[in-house]
Amino acid sequence: MLKFGIIGGGWYGCHIASSLRALGFEVKLFEQHDRLFHEASGNNQFRLHQGFHYARHSATRVQSRDGCSRFIERYPGLSAPVANNIYAVPVGDSLVDYDTYRLVMTSTGLHFDEVAASDLDLTNIAGAMRTSERVLNLTRARSYFESSLGDCLRMGEPVRTVVNASEGVEIDGERFDFAIDASWGHFEGVPAQVFYEPTLLLYYEGPPDFPAVTLVDGPLCSIYPTEIDTLYTLSSVPFTPLGRCDTAGEARAARDEVTSALVEQRRMAMERQISRYVPGFRDLFRFAGPQLAIKTKPHGAFDDRSCHVFQTGNVFSVLSGKIDTIFFAVERILALIEAERGGMALHVPSSLRDDIRRVSRQVEQQ
Ligand SMILES: Cc1cc2nc3c(=O)[nH]c(=O)nc-3n(C[C@H](O)[C@H](O)[C@H](O)COP(=O)(O)OP(=O)(O)OC[C@H]3O[C@@H](n4cnc5c(N)ncnc54)[C@H](O)[C@@H]3O)c2cc1C
C-alpha cells in the first residue's frame, strides 16, 4: 500500500488527503498551525466559482465550471446557494464590453439569466446577469475535515525537510512513498514563474438580503456574502493586493506588518470604488474588520487561476487554482503515478500481427 505525506491543511491538502484515504492509501497530513484552513483557505472571499470571474482565461473557466458541480456533489453541506448573485459589466471601466462577456460565458456553457440594469439598485452598469454561484461555509468545512481526517492529521507540526530518495521520500526523517507539497508554495516554492501577493479584504455588516455584486472584468471590485447572513466581504482588484513579492517569506513579512493606518487608507479607496456602482453602500454597510492573507499567482496577463501539478522525483508540488479546482490536483497526481508505475504496459508487444495471421489462416481454410 502506498504511503503519502501531505504538507498543508488548506482546501488542497485536505481534499487530496481525503481522496487518497478513500482509495485505501495510507496518508499523513502535516499542518504547521493548530487548526485547519488557517491561511488562504480560511481567509478569502468564500466564493464557489463557476467561471464567471475569468473572462480572460479559458482553462480557469472550464476547471471551475466542472469543479463546481463536482464540489456540490462531493461536499454537499459545505456550500450554500446565494439567492441573488449578480455579475455586472460596468460602462467604460471593464476590460471587456458586456456583449463580449456574455458571449464568452455562453460559449463556456455557463447558465445565467440576464437582468435589466435598470432593475438593479446599481449605477454605471452596461449589462448584468444573475448566476447560481454559491458561498462556501468555512466553519463546516473546517470541522468536516477535522473529524473525517482525524487520526491522519499531524497538527502544529511544521515540516522542515523533504528529501527525495531513490525509493520514496523522507519527510523530517520519516519514510513515505510520495510527498505532496500542498502549502501553496510556502514550503519549498513551486517550479513555475509565480509571485506572492499579500492581500487585504474587508468584512462588513450589512442587510441580510443584499445581493452579491461582482463587477467584471479587470480592475474592479465585489461585495460577497459569507456563511453569516449579515456579514459580507468587500474585495477590490486594485486595492486588495498589498504588494508583489518574489518569495513567500517576504509576503508573510509584508502581511504581518500591515498597520491600521494602511487598512484605513485602503478602506477609504475601496468604499469609494464600490460606491460608484452600489450608491447606497456607505449607508447600508458598516465596516467590521480586515482580513489578511497571501495569494500565490502565476505571472501573466491573462488572469490564469487554473491548478497545476509538478513532479520532482517522488515529490509533487501543487500550484493551487481556485477552491473548486481541487479535483484536478489529486487526479493529476494519480495520473502521474499510474503512468510511472504502469509504464511497463507501454512495452507490451502488439498483438495485431498475431490477429492478422490468425484471420488469414482462417480465411485460407474456407
Ligand atoms: C483574498 C483572497 C480571496 C480569494 N477568494 C477566493 C474565492 O472567493 N473563491 C476561491 O475559490 N478561491 C479564492 N481564493 C483562493 C483560495 O483561497 C485558494 O485557492 C485556496 O485557499 C488554496 O488552498 P491551499 O490549500 O492550496 O492553500 P492554503 O489554504 O494556504 O493552505 C496551505 C497550508 O499549508 C500550511 N503550511 C505551509 N508551510 C507548511 C509547513 N512547512 N509545514 C506544515 N504546513 C505548512 C499552511 O499553514 C496552510 O494551512 C482567494 C484567495 C485570497 C488570498
DSSP conformation letters of 102-135: HHHHHHTT---EEE-GGGSS-SSEEEEEEE--EE
CB 40 near ligand 1, within 6 Å:
yes
Confidence (pLDDT) at 265: 98
Confidence (pLDDT) at 94: 95
Q: Which residues of 170-189 are buried (b: 16+ CB within 10 A; e: fewer)?
A: bbeeeebbbbbbbbbbbbbb
Residue nearest to atom 14 of ligand 1 (CA): 44
Contact in structure between 39 and 185 (CB atoms under 8 Å): no
Burial level of 70, CB count in 10 A (0-12/13-18/19+)? middle
Using DSSP bridges, classify how beta strands 79-81 and 194-205 pair: parallel, antiparallel or unpaired. unpaired
In three-state form (DSSP H/G/I as H, E/B as E, the rest C), the secondary structure along 61-82 is: HHHHHHHHHHHHHHCHHHEEEC
Q: How far apart are CA 130 and CA 299, in angstroms?
A: 31
C-alpha cell at 84: 441573488
Confidence (pLDDT) at 118: 86
CB 252 near ligand 1, within 6 Å:
no
Q: How far apart are CA 329 and CA 333, in angstroms?
A: 6
Confidence (pLDDT) at 303: 79
Confidence (pLDDT) at 166: 82
Q: How far apart are CA 141 and CA 167, in angstroms?
A: 35
Amino acid letter for position 222: S
Q: How far apart are CA 57 and CA 70, in angstroms?
A: 20
142 CA to middle of ligand 1, Å? Answer: 13
Residue corresponding to grid cell 452598469:
125
Q: Where are the beta strands (DSSP E) in the chain?
A: 3-7, 26-31, 47-48, 79-81, 85-90, 113-115, 125-131, 134-136, 153-155, 162-164, 169-171, 174-176, 178-181, 194-205, 212-215, 221-225, 231-236, 286-298, 308-312, 315-319
Cis-peptide, bond into residue 304, ω within 30° of zero = no
Q: How does pLDDT run across 246-273, given as a tens digit for each residue?
A: 999 999 999 999 999 999 999 999 999 9
Burial level of 190, CB count in 10 A (0-12/13-18/19+)? buried
Q: How does pLDDT run across 185-228, given as a tens digit for each residue?
A: 999 999 999 999 999 999 999 999 999 999 999 999 999 999 99
C-alpha cell at 55: 473572462
Q: How far apart are CA 47 and CA 324, in angstroms?
A: 9
Confidence (pLDDT) at 341: 84
Contact in structure between 75 and 93 (CB atoms under 8 Å): no
Q: How far apart are CA 270 and CA 278, in angstroms?
A: 12
The number of the ligand 1 atom at minimal distance from the alpha carbon of 201 is 1
Confidence (pLDDT) at 330: 96
Question: What residues pair up with 80 in beta bridges, in sequence order?
Answer: 135
296 CA to middle of ligand 1, Å? Answer: 9
Residue nearest to atom 47 of ligand 1 (CA): 32
Q: Which domains does the chain have, with CATH numbers?
A: 1-80+137-191+301-366 (3.50.50.60)
243 CA to middle of ligand 1, Å? Answer: 17
The number of the ligand 1 atom at minimal distance from the alpha carbon of 12 is 25
Question: What residues pair up with 27 in beta bridges, in sequence order?
Answer: 4
Nearest in space to 185 (alpha carbons), one of 67, 13, 366: 13
Confidence (pLDDT) at 340: 87
Which of the listed residues 32, 38, 160, 316 should we mutate to test ligand 1's pocket, taking the one with most ligand atoms within 8 A of CB?
32
Q: How far apart are CA 159 and CA 179, in angstroms?
A: 11
Q: How far apart are CA 219 and CA 268, in angstroms?
A: 16
Question: What residues pair up with 328 in beta bridges, in sequence order?
Answer: none
Q: How far apart are CA 27 and CA 333, in angstroms?
A: 14
- The segments of the chain whose pLDDT lies below 50 read 345-346
259 CA to middle of ligand 1, Å? Answer: 22
Nearest in space to 153 (alpha carbons), one of 316, 323, 311, 27: 27
Confidence (pLDDT) at 343: 62
Confidence (pLDDT) at 351: 87
Confidence (pLDDT) at 18: 98
